[in-house]
Amino acid sequence: MIIGKRLLLFFGTNMAVLALFTIVLHLLGIDSYLVDEHGIRYQTLLVVAVFFGFGGSFLSLMLSKKIAIHAMRVRVIERPNSELEAWLLRTVGNLSRQAGITTPEVGVYESADPNAFATGPNKNSSLVAVSTGLLRTMPRDQVEAVLAHEVSHCANGDMVTLALMQGVLNTFVIFISRVIGITVDRVVFRNTRGVGLGYIVVTLAAQFALGILASIILAAFSRRREFRADSGAAKLVGPRPMAAALDSLRRVSTPAAMPESMRAFGIRGGTQGLLASLLRSHPPLEDRIARLRNAGG
């Protein structure tokens, strides 16, 4: 988004998938193959971590568009009900042709918060959605700039790139959390046969804690992609409309109305506090505006 939904929905779905995998692996007894009388089978553990790490990430990616539509109650425009909706379809179509991608689906969702987001499994199967608040509060040249930002996310393949990076981080989280779980299970709970209840409890706790660390890394990467999407929008419509759109968003004092799980998908995203600042998927609007204005001379 221009403000911030893509990452938290993706991260939340991914963490839920990983937690489910952890429970299923334990119930199926697969975890017992990770240890023997000599200790941890690191090669087996690494294979499991890679398989489920990337599996969870790409499952989240495949589900991203459907989850976003459901979570935000997006109405995908199939037949325009108004001149504005027809304009939205034409504009996204024109921008997509300039960017060299298949035109994404276009949707509108009810929210007083001026925002927009793009998501989807790949650049040629995406969704761009805008809030009713954005359409009511911004002139069309700024709305077009916001749409250009979202189309740039699609053209840059940001969701796939994030999925690949999340897969690497998932592998790290799964591997390390199980090493911690097995170690605690053996040393603290004195379990020398297979894995016990202590293992699954400690593993889930470690997985959650390491997942937060992974999300901080992913958020930092996402902030870089936002600058790139702003630059892409500037190439499509010019830096001034994009800077003006961000400035309009900066002046909005109403708190973001998106569900927390969707904040990383938006074009606008403001959070406070140290942890929140580390987890924010978007750079400060002031920094983004300054870059665009410097680029525009």
Cα–Cα distance for residue pair 35/16, rounded to 1 Å = 25
**Structure tokens that stand for 156 in this block:** 């840059």
Cα–Cα distance for residue pair 256/274, rounded to 1 Å = 19
Sign of CA dihedral 253, 247, 85, 60: negative
Cα–Cα distance for residue pair 136/58, rounded to 1 Å = 36
Longest dimension (CA), the chain: 71
Residue among 231, 49, 82 at smallest CA distance from 153: 231
**Phi, psi angle pair for 173, to nearest 5°:** -65, -45
Q: Is 127 left (phi over 0), alpha (psi -120 to 50) or beta?
A: beta
DSSP one-letter string for 246-262: HHHHHH--SPP-S-GGG
**Phi, psi angle pair for 122, to nearest 5°:** -160, 170
Active site residue 150: yes
Do the Cβ atoms of 273 and 8 come closer than 8 Å? no
Rg (CA), the chain: 21
Q: Which of 105, 144, 150, 226 is catalytic?
A: 150
Residues with active-site annotation: 150
